[in-house]
Structure 1
Amino acid sequence: MADVVNVGVNLEAFSQAISGIQALRSSVSRVFESLKDGMKNRETLEGREKQFISEFQDNLQAVNRDLNELERLSGLVGRPSESHPLHNSGLLSLDPVQDKTPLYSQLLQAYKWSNKLQYHAGLASSLLNQQSLKRSANQMGASAKRRPKVQPSTLVLPPQYVDDVISRIGRMFPDMTIELFRPNGTSAVLLLDIWTKSQYQVFQKVTDHATTALLHYQLPQMPDVVVRSFMTWLRSYIKLFQSSCQRCGRFLQDGLPPTWRDFRTLEAFHDTCRM
């Protein structure tokens, strides 16, 4: 009995409310079945009309009666106790079909993926800042012992600076929708659909090229230039189905338009023609 008091819900009224929902669904189904059957299976037209109207009114009255009963029971159910508030996360446990909509497990996976992405981005940034490719093997061997170990670091920018950069880029490309949100504090993310794979081969290739472009446009000292350059490159796909290949001059090759865009000139090429 103490458990019922702590929960704060009238379990008997709750059970009756479930039965009321089932009764309401049944009465609503009868209304639609009556509309579906119409006035068939009657001897005369006048008799069909009278019988249909009578049955339809009875079904509507049953719906109204069941709805009033459900509203009465909903007031008796009560409210659950809020001694341990879970806020919006408490709603995740209400999903009855975990196999079809595994929302909670997907959120955990996305959180782990975000942490790994931030860690590897810091490693990549520190390696690129070293510019080790410009040094000779002898210089690196001589000074390797004297250099301290470089720890992973990330580029931290003020939120207002990021907002201003994205706002300016949005004004540069009015025909593109750019949205910025911060799912985890101050870390800003541009709204992109990176989970759903397109069913069309042409857009799958564009996605692969966009991933390559993200690795190409890299300048830690000037992040606004990087974002602006990438958005300029991405906007060149606005004429994906109108541009011909700059090498072969054809619009289609193997049934596909030229999906590659040069990073410097933004010229269109087929995959086989750009080699």
Structure 2
Amino acid sequence: MADYSQAKQFLSHSQHAINATQQLRTTVANVFEFLRDGINGEEGKNQFLQTFQDLLVAVNKDFSELEKLGNSMSTMPDVGNAALGPAGNLCMEGDADENNLFQDTLLAYQWYTKLHSRAQIASSLVPMYKRTLSTSAISIARARRGSTNPAQQMKPHSVNAAHVESYMANTLPRQFSDLIIKMIYSQGSTKILHVTVGKVLYALILFRGLMIEKVIVRGLGEDVFDVDTPDMFTPSRFECMRHISDHASSALLYVDQYLHVQMDLKPRFVMAWLQSHKGLMTDSCQKCGKHLNNGLPPTFRDFKSYAPYHTGCK
């Protein structure tokens, strides 16, 4: 292992030497470019000499730095076949300086060592998670067997149309009194709700039964209809609203894993999540504490706590 650490140190010194060489070339090039421009009149003679002297001092400084690095470098350690095992015989195929064999093998060994260490940690945690998952599976199975409400055993997209309309017209507005909820389209099992969140935004929510298939968010001044039907496809012209639409798609995927618990969980979750955007223009990010980041307010809301975050801070 000592050979490997010496080799790693040698590579680090080599990189520093390359950087110093590039810096020296830059300062020398600056000298020749300055000399090429020449003197601008007699008044600039003193200034010319002063600048020329400063450039030469910079060249001398960079050369001294490169010379110091060169003197501190040792020769490349010979790891040999014994240290690399069978991989050491690969150096017989071509020039070692061209195929970069030693450095690639060293990186592969470091990666393998890190992988082995983390695999040991993971194997020690598996038994604990197995017990947790088993307990959760048993609890869910018991909850399913103990459910006596036939409506909860139905599929969200196959709920009776009259029940869906009653739910959207009465239950949701009563549960979320801060939101203005209106049904603007109804055709069979397909419904579209127009939800206004304070004086900030509105959302169009496409339902199939009680299953939400799409959410699109726009600013209050933007069009709702395309000719005579609700426009569910045109994105908002405001970047922050487009971000919220993307986060809404993620929220739908997040809540899908809990649909077996309660049939109307998805509509209630989406309404509560949208309601948390009421303070979009005043809330500060929970991570960085700022209101604006790259000119945008915190458009992301945590799916559990509804805490505001910037897209880059979540």
TM range (shorter): 0.3 to 0.5
Q: Which of these two proteins has the greater Rg computed from alpha carbons? A: 2
Higher share of residues assigned strand: 2
Bigger relative contact order, structure 1 or 2, given CA contacts below 8 A and separation 6+?
1
Give me the TM-score of the superposition, normalised by structure 1: 0.41
Give me the TM-score of the superposition, normalised by structure 2: 0.36
